[in-house]
Structure 1
Amino acid sequence: MYAIDELPDEGLLGWQERALCAQTDPEAFFPEKGGSTREAKRVCTACDVRAECLEYALANDERFGIWGGLSERERRKLKRRAV
């Protein structure tokens, strides 16, 4: 057992191992143009690392797929509002 301050460093992308999308069909998160994003967004809603995922996508200018529960278009809007 580790004390809370002795936990091993999971690294910068360690959150990805805890992401619910890692346990589901990846195709749902990268739908064809015009395809439904509903299934992916439903998974994101219940995910504990949703905020880290969205932060990563925004910081790395991810242009495809559902990240942190948002589509590429929704992330662009969010970035414009933040500027």
Structure 2
Amino acid sequence: MSSSNATVLPLTDAEELGWQERALCAQTDPEAFFPEKGGSTREAKRVCTTCEVRVECLEYALDHDERFGIWGGLSERERRRLKKQAV
């Protein structure tokens, strides 16, 4: 059977968010990823650097306009700057 005849089905919510189960942040202290204003983001960003789903995480945050926390290794301010550069 030719692959060109394959039907592409839309992803379900569970499939679309399956990356979250593999995220290293799910196995660590969530408070590190949502520090108080002025708090350090260093530990969360360190975890993100080795995470296999970092790209998916960042894409999710950008697509859903996440305003709080560290997502894909970037703070809210860094994500906002990234979005401005893309425009």
Structure 2 regions of 5+ residues with no counterpart?
1-11
SS in 2 for 1:11: helix
Query: What is the CA RMSD across the aligned residues, in angstroms?
Result: 1.1
CA apart distance, 1:15: 0.0
Number of corresponding residues? 75
Q: Is 1:24 aligned with 2:25?
A: no
Q: Is 1:69 aligned with 2:73?
A: yes
Q: Please report the TM-score for the alignment, with normalisation by the length of structure 2.
A: 0.84
Q: Please report the TM-score for the alignment, with normalisation by the length of structure 1.
A: 0.88
- Structure 1 runs of 4+ aligned residues shifted over 6 Å read none
Q: Which amino acid aligns with 1:81?
A: Q
2:19 maps to 15
Identical-pair percentage: 84
Larger radius of gyration: 2
Cα distance in structure 2, aligned partners of 1:53 and 1:69: 9
Structure 1 regions of 5+ residues with no counterpart?
1-8
